Amino acid sequence: MGKQFLAITAKEEVTRNIAELSTKLAKRIVAETESVRIDRYEALGRIVARDMYSPHDIPPFDRATMDGYAVVASNTFYAAEDNPAALRVKCSIPAGEFPSQSIEQGSCTGISTGAVIPKGADAVVKVENTVEEDVAATVRTVKIYKPVAPGENIMLAGSDIKRGERIVNKGTILTPRETGVLAACGLNEVVARKKPIVAVISTGNEIVTPGETLTPGKIYDVNTQTLCDSVRDNGCIPVSLGITRDNIKEMAGKIRESLNEGADVIILSGGTSAGAGDVLPNVIEELGEIIVHGVDIKPGKPFVFGMCREKSVPVFGLPGNPTSALITFNLFVAPLLRTISGVSLQSDYDKGEITRAKAAVRIFSEPGRNEYVLVNLERAGKNFVVYPILTGSGAITTLSKAEGYVFMAKGKEILEEGEEVVVELLTKPVSFGKRGAFT
Amino acid sequence: MGKQFLAITAKEEVTRNIAELSTKLAKRIVAETESVRIDRYEALGRIVARDMYSPHDIPPFDRATMDGYAVVASNTFYAAEDNPAALRVKCSIPAGEFPSQSIEQGSCTGISTGAVIPKGADAVVKVENTVEEDVAATVRTVKIYKPVAPGENIMLAGSDIKRGERIVNKGTILTPRETGVLAACGLNEVVARKKPIVAVISTGNEIVTPGETLTPGKIYDVNTQTLCDSVRDNGCIPVSLGITRDNIKEMAGKIRESLNEGADVIILSGGTSAGAGDVLPNVIEELGEIIVHGVDIKPGKPFVFGMCREKSVPVFGLPGNPTSALITFNLFVAPLLRTISGVSLQSDYDKGEITRAKAAVRIFSEPGRNEYVLVNLERAGKNFVVYPILTGSGAITTLSKAEGYVFMAKGKEILEEGEEVVVELLTKPVSFGKRGAFT
């Protein structure tokens, strides 16, 4: 048995390391990855790879913005409640039809919102300020009770968007509002960034794929599921490579397979601590360089991070314990995925990931450790309180019971009842549906 | 031409009406809609339709939670730094293998985290508290420097989850943490609620499908795109029925088609104001009952809401103007969709949809109207300021420029520079990826 040395790195240094790398990596991925053509109808949430321009003037014609009468504005200048201007109504122009008549001094047309302004007209009088008594009469006349200025209630062709104008910038994440603008301009396709591919590998001699027979000594693999789902949550495409046994040859083989599959990032879980049969650090050493081996946090100490020599692909080794795997994923892997996928672009005023609460009871942490204490949140009036979860990081149910975690830095061993804490949410409110389940 | 009467309803009343209906409708949809079987791997974000139970004990066996030695605890009770207990090491048990040997007084086995505790052992001593000098020796001996209590560093079979225990409650929205628990229990399928189906219909004689030729007087349909995307954002499945012309027969036909398609909600846009050719209210009257026709807000006044007689399906008629359509969708339709889809279940501590900011300049609203003023947000130090968007609700670009809106109630005609405002976000931070784009 025996004990392998872990050169523990401070959490802040790991975070800084990964943040620097993320930015470089994001640039490289954007530069090297081909973009994909996507139908506008499927484009929601995707990142636009090229600036987009309108092929049309919007609106394409001078357009009425009110129901009423298209007039020569000067014909209404002296109109008043007690002195209406009377104009001959030549016809009515509904939306969607091209006007066959033009107007001149003394005449006008009825007009609907959205209809084309007829030649000769330079303003629209709102229907509320008019009276036309007999629309069916052979000679129609309307009385106008309020003056309009030239241009009033008309939207000029191209005044919203000019033909050739840039309508969506490269790098924009498409919301319904931008897809609406694309529709308005008649564009059916978007050139979007490909999503980064993340290989997910579970390691361990004791784990089997859920659903297979559980022979004595074996347990089901949890991390493939939670990590693939978390990868989706952070804007990337997970590719599961299944389970590998804890030996150098098999693990190196899976990493090479990941590189061949075009993985931009590789995540393994298990095989990272200093116990028997933990070989991942050796594998990374063989295929490239270890940057971090061990972080000063609990849970998550045996976190490994390195780069594959050949293609400069980052490799993360997370602890095998599902809760520790998820916490180290959230701390160190998610920020990188959010940067390379572009999800982080939108998080500027994203306040969903943390919340403030008070400790409902005294909470203890292990002396001398930077500890993430798993908690659940409960409402207390308008605020939240947190209770620590005591099942421990080894239990699977810890995962489903915890809503988030509270960080207790080394030296902070007790949180008093009522003390204010910042809770990092495991189930991010922002994350619901981010999962792509709503298609 | 002329003017049809709109019996304006107060915004609060409309909201209350729709909220009451939403709850009833959600119950009916949950009761009547069949559930669907979904692969665990695709289940993220879905709502579980039945309570789920574990078919296994988790862990399935007594399991070591540390690397070290499996011992009879009483053999270590008097161990100390200066008086180690010496035990014979019978073998080492790696994770994933079933131990072939049992232990007794005076003997122990090496054991890895996750391995099966051998018969006879009742505790695990951490490797840190032991010294075994020659693991390869024929007769192995380990010195133990700290006592352990019975049960220490062992997780008992079923102590995390008992066979038959309920692991996920009906109605839960699956996050990576619950899908992880399902994996741990070896469950590959989830019975999930079907997502509600929302029919989306654009009406108007002037609109054509984006990409088709734009003949004089026509414009491209924007609302099919923005409303379908917004329906996805709120956890439902949009079914686009395309464009219908502004006449009773065609519109009634599309509504009947929606009912035949199994729509749970029908959304039309356009055809709602009191101008020429606006027939939607008449159609709803014919097929059922109008509940609201006109709301005291700007933009969005000509909002219509009714119920189809035949199947009690709610029908929304939104203004044709894209910005007004999106605002009335967010105000009145989204809450209903969030309730019936179950998305709202998770929004308890969702703070993403509003944010506080200060007015960057004086902002005016129309006297006598409840107005939603479209704004964009800018960072100012740690806070945000808002600027009003002046292009007006008729412009398509208003949609893409605005990040949210500020409500100015009737009687509040001026917001002073620096005054604090609550901004309802159009691009909800929570909404990114919610769009199902990340699959």
Task: Determine the Cα–Cα distance for residues B341 and B336; give it in Å rounded to an integer.
Answer: 8
Task: Determine the Cα–Cα distance for residues A26 and A31; give it in Å rounded to an integer.
Answer: 8
Place of tokens 């000029």: A156
Determine the pLDDT at residue A299: 80
* Tokens, residue A388: 């620590």
State whether A113 and B2 contact (CB < 8 Å). Answer: no
pLDDT at B278 exceeding the cut of 70: no
**Beta-carbon-side half-sphere exposure of residue A288 (alpha carbons within 13 Å):** 24
State whether B1 and A343 contact (CB < 8 Å). Answer: no
CA distance A413 to chain B (A): 22
Identify which of A427, A356, A362, A351 has the alpha carbon closest to the alpha carbon of residue A390: A362
Nearest residue, CB atoms, B96 vs list A43, A205, A392: A205
- Per-residue burial over B211-230, b = 16 or more CB atoms within 10 Å of its CB, e = otherwise: eeebeebbbbbbbbbbbbbb
State whether B186 and A214 contact (CB < 8 Å). Answer: yes
Give A221's contacts in chain B (Cβ within 8 Å). Answer: 183
Determine the pLDDT at residue B22: 86
Identify which of B141, B110, B140, B115 has the alpha carbon closest to the alpha carbon of residue B126: B110
Task: Determine the Cα–Cα distance for residues A438 and A44; give it in Å rounded to an integer.
Answer: 11
Task: Determine the Cα–Cα distance for residues B318 and B328; give it in Å rounded to an integer.
Answer: 7
By DSSP bridging, strand A130-131 and strand A197-203 are unpaired
Nearest residue, CB atoms, A433 vs list B168, B235, B394: B235
The complex's ipTM works out to 0.79
pLDDT at B406 exceeding the cut of 70: yes
pLDDT at B264 exceeding the cut of 90: yes
CA distance B72 to chain A (A): 19
CB B147 within 8 A of CB B79: yes
Q: Angle B181-B182-B186 (CA atoms, 0-180°, nearest 5)? A: 115
pLDDT at B228 exceeding the cut of 80: yes
Nearest residue, CB atoms, B349 vs list A226, A277, A384: A384
Phi, psi of B388, rounded to the nearest 5 degrees = -75, 150
Give A400's contacts in chain B (Cβ within 8 Å). Answer: 167-168, 177-178, 180-181
Give A115's contacts in chain B (Cβ within 8 Å). Answer: 206, 217
State whether A177 and B61 contact (CB < 8 Å). Answer: no
Determine the pLDDT at residue A352: 44
Determine the pLDDT at residue A425: 79
Give A232's contacts in chain B (Cβ within 8 Å). Answer: 44, 438-439
State whether A114 and B204 contact (CB < 8 Å). Answer: yes
Determine the pLDDT at residue A278: 63
CB B324 within 8 A of CB B399: no
Give B210's contacts in chain A (Cβ within 8 Å). Answer: 40, 182-188
Nearest residue, CB atoms, B218 vs list A96, A160, A435: A96
Nearest residue, CB atoms, B210 vs list A186, A218, A223: A186
CA distance B412 to chain A (A): 25
Task: Determine the Cα–Cα distance for residues A252 and A284; give it in Å rounded to an integer.
Answer: 8
What's the predicted TM-score (pTM) here?
A: 0.81
Q: Which residues pair with B199 in a beta bridge?
A: B239, B266
* Tokens, residue A429: 């409110």
Place of tokens 């014909």: A75
Q: Angle B16-B20-B24 (CA atoms, 0-180°, nearest 5)? A: 165
> pLDDT-based confidence at B273, cuts 50/70/90?
low
Nearest residue of B to residue A98, measured between CA atoms: B217
Q: What is the DSSP letter of B48?
A: B
Give B222's contacts in chain A (Cβ within 8 Å). Answer: 180-181, 183-184
Determine the pLDDT at residue A349: 35
Nearest residue of A to residue B153, measured between CA atoms: A394
Task: Determine the Cα–Cα distance for residues A263 and A197; give it in Å rounded to an integer.
Answer: 5
Nearest residue, CB atoms, B222 vs list A61, A180, A215: A180
Identify which of A44, A235, A284 has the alpha carbon closest to the alpha carbon of residue B228: A44
pLDDT at B284 exceeding the cut of 70: yes
Determine the pLDDT at residue A246: 82
CB A329 within 8 A of CB A318: yes
pLDDT digits (tens, 9 = 90+) for B175-209: 888 899 999 999 999 999 999 999 999 998 899 99
Place of tokens 């020429």: B276
Strands (E), A130-262: 130-131, 140-144, 154-155, 166-168, 189-193, 197-203, 207-208, 219-220, 237-244
Task: Determine the Cα–Cα distance for residues A341 and B152; give it in Å rounded to an integer.
Answer: 44
Give the best residue of B1, B87, B161, B214 to mutate against chain A (max A CB count within 10 A).
B1
Burial class (CB in 10 A: 0-12, 13-18, 19+), A146: middle
Q: What is the DSSP letter of A40?
A: G
Amino acid in the structure at residue A256: R
CA distance B415 to chain A (A): 23
pLDDT digits (tens, 9 = 90+) for B18-56: 888 888 888 888 788 778 999 999 998 888 999 999 999
Identify which of A358, A361, A363 has the alpha carbon closest to the alpha carbon of residue A374: A363
By DSSP bridging, strand B370-380 and strand B383-388 are antiparallel
Nearest residue, CB atoms, A180 vs list B3, B225, B237: B225
State whether B433 and A436 contact (CB < 8 Å). Answer: yes
Task: Determine the Cα–Cα distance for residues B9 and B301; give it in Å rounded to an integer.
Answer: 9
Count CB-CB contacts under 10 A for residue A311: 11
* Tokens, residue A246: 């804890």
pLDDT digits (tens, 9 = 90+) for A91-137: 999 989 999 999 999 999 999 989 999 999 999 999 999 999 887 88
Task: Determine the Cα–Cα distance for residues A265 and A200; give it in Å rounded to an integer.
Answer: 9
State whether B220 and A183 contact (CB < 8 Å). Answer: yes
Task: Determine the Cα–Cα distance for residues B325 and A221; give it in Å rounded to an integer.
Answer: 47
Question: What is the average pLDDT across B113-138?
Answer: 92
Nearest residue, CB atoms, A186 vs list B42, B214, B228: B214
Percent of chain B with pLDDT over 90: 50
Nearest residue, CB atoms, A3 vs list B110, B112, B127: B127
Determine the pLDDT at residue B392: 64
State whether B235 and A438 contact (CB < 8 Å). Answer: yes
Determine the pLDDT at residue A314: 94
Determine the pLDDT at residue B74: 96
CA distance A285 to chain B (A): 23
Determine the pLDDT at residue B219: 93
Task: Determine the Cα–Cα distance for residues B370 and B15; give it in Å rounded to an integer.
Answer: 14
Nearest residue of B to residue A326, measured between CA atoms: B177
**Range in A263-267, A395-399, B99-103, B411-415 the model is least confident about:** A395-399
Question: What is the average pLDDT across B134-161?
Answer: 92
State whether A437 and B436 contact (CB < 8 Å). Answer: yes
The tens place of each residue's pLDDT in chain A, 439 residues long, gives 333 445 788 888 888 988 888 888 888 887 887 789 999 999 988 889 999 999 999 999 999 988 999 999 999 999 999 999 999 999 999 989 999 999 999 999 999 989 999 999 999 999 999 999 887 888 999 999 999 999 999 999 998 899 999 999 888 888 888 899 999 999 999 999 999 999 999 998 899 999 899 999 999 999 999 999 999 988 899 999 999 988 889 999 999 999 999 999 999 998 655 454 568 888 888 889 999 888 888 887 888 999 998 778 999 999 888 888 988 998 899 989 988 888 765 543 343 467 889 999 999 888 888 888 888 888 888 888 999 887 665 677 777 777 788 888 888 889 999 999 988 877 543 332 222 222 2
Residue B310 to residues A112, B96, B257, B264, Cα–Cα distance (Å):
33, 61, 13, 12
Report which of residues B371 and B244 the model is more confident about: B244
Give A175's contacts in chain B (Cβ within 8 Å). Answer: 229, 426-427, 431-432
CA distance A183 to chain B (A): 5
What DSSP letter does each residue of B168-210 carry, written as one string? E-TTPBP-HHHHHHHHHTT--EEEEEPPPEEEEEEE-TTEE-T
State whether A113 and B391 contact (CB < 8 Å). Answer: no
State whether A437 and B437 contact (CB < 8 Å). Answer: no
Mean pLDDT, chain B, whole residue set: 86
Determine the pLDDT at residue A20: 87
